[in-house]
Amino acid sequence: MESSIGIVTAKKMHFSAPLLLQSGQSLADYDLMVETYGVLNAQRSNAVLICHALNASHHVAGHYLHEPQSLGWWDNMVGPGKPLDTQRFFIIGINNLGSCFGSTGPMSLDPATGRPYGARFPVVTVEDWVNAQARVADALGIERFAAVMGGSLGGMQALAWSITYPERVAHCLAIASTPKLSAQNIAFNEVARSAILSDPDFHGGDYYTHGVKPRIGLRLARMIGHITYLSDEDMAAKFGRARFSQKKNTYNFNFDIEFEVESYLRHQGGKFAEYFDANTYLLATRALDYFDPAQAYAGDLSAALANTRANYLVVSFTTDWRFPPARSQELVKALLEHKRAVTYAEINAPHGHDAFLLTDDRYHNLVRAYYARIAQECA
């Protein structure tokens, strides 16, 4: 019963009411790319919003016509008979503001100038994204989500939904996430941003009009990211000290690719630099850095969660050193102080932060069981 949902189509939704951003700036109007799967029931009670992480999009599941390789980023989670079952739920994926997959972002034309926004695109926050997503829900006639779910930066959006719109979220599923970045997390983001900002082809963010893109910086940023997504154990198992060359018994004594892990990183970095936008990378890492709902409460996360109404599923993975289990536990503890219903699972998985995207029976069966319960509530 675990087949992909098959061919899907994305649509662009236009919003013409200005959106006031946390920075004080506003967007006069904007587009958001949206995909939906399954059918909204008559009571409009079975809607689930999936929030994406740094480099993903609205394309959560299925594939596009004539593009069988274009599988959605969470296709193993969302589909007929899958943990989040499209036969039971109406599921929405939205490409966030500032991203580079069709929603309004730095690559879009600024109506004020007729040229791409570039560096003039405002710095957006997790809360800004949530406010923009709420307008999609309004347009689709969804008053309350059965669930808002996300992994990593997507989990932050799910958490922000439950704080900003407590009446509109029945369940919040925060996977491999954290209520705030650590200094080390920010440090990795800063190196990635520095690589982009210092690339001579960055041109202060306005590289579009120069006909170039800061590939070198974006490539380095992605290489750094990749190291933090994988666990030390996983890298050891996948690559170890395996050699790239055929001459296994002697080194090349140069700085070309010597080890498999170098080849992997260069390949991933190079691929990413072709399809992703550097300004979006800057924006998404800043949104990560800035997210900290406790900040307005003098660092008291419990106070920040005082008005939440949702039930929570919080999942962490043992070898995730980007957002380790302790960060999820911090969230769980603060929620329990308000007697919220919280299910917490720490999945023993070797794959580091990436585990949230991978197929793992214990993880998927947990999410499946959790959604089965939600399905009963909204039937």
Q: Is 199 a catalytic residue?
A: no
Of 64 and 239, CB closest to its own copies: 239
The nearest distance, CB 96 to its own copies, in angstroms, is 16
Q: Are strands 90-94 and 342-347 parallel, antiparallel or unpaired?
A: unpaired
- 3-state DSSP of the chain: CCCCCCECCCEEEEECCCEECCCCCEECCEEEEEEEECCCCCCCCCEEEEECCCCCCCCCCCEECCECCCCCCCCCCEECCCCEECCCCEEEEECCCCCCCCCCCCCCECCCCCCECHHHCCCCCHHHHHHHHHHHHHHCCCCCECEEEEECHHHHHHHHHHHHCHHHECEEEEECCCCCCCHHHHHHHHHHHHHHHCCCCCHHHCHHHHCCCCHHHHHHHHHHHHHHHCCHHHHHHHCCCCECCCCCCCCCCCCCCCEHHHHHHHHHHHHHHHHCCHHHHHHHHHHHHHCCHHHHHCCCHHHHCCCCCCEEEEEEECCCCCCCHHHHHHHHHHHHCCCCCEEEEEECCCCHHHHHHCCCHHHHHHHHHHHHHHHHHCC
> Which string of b and e fits 145-177 if b means at least 16 CB within 10 Å?
bbbbbbbbbbbbbbbbbbbbbeebbbbbbbbbb
Residue 354 marked in a binding site = yes
- Let me know the angle formed at the C-alpha of 290 by 101 and 225, rounded to the nearest 5 degrees: 55
Token pair listed for 273 = 């630099």
Min dist. Cβ of residue 250 to its own copies (A): 9
Residue 353 designated active-site:
yes
248/339 with CB nearer its own copies: 248
Catalytic choice (85, 128, 199, 320): 320
Interface residues with its own copies (CB under 8 A) are 22-25, 122-123, 180-184, 186-188, 190-191, 193-195, 197-200, 216, 219-220, 223-224, 226-227, 230, 232, 235-236, 238-241, 251, 253-255, 258-259, 261-262, 265-266, 269, 282, 286, 289-290, 292, 321
Q: Could you say which of 57, 103, 152, 177 is catalytic? A: 152
Minimum separation from the CB atom of position 353 to its own copies (A): 13
Residue placing its CB nearer to its own copies in the complex, 112 or 183: 183
Q: Which is nearer to its own copies, 38 or 269 (CB)?
A: 269
Binding site annotation covers 309?
no
Q: Is 328 a catalytic residue?
A: no
Which positions are annotated as active-site residues?
152, 320, 353
Known binding-site positions for substrate:
222, 354
Query: Residues comprising the binding site?
Result: 222, 354
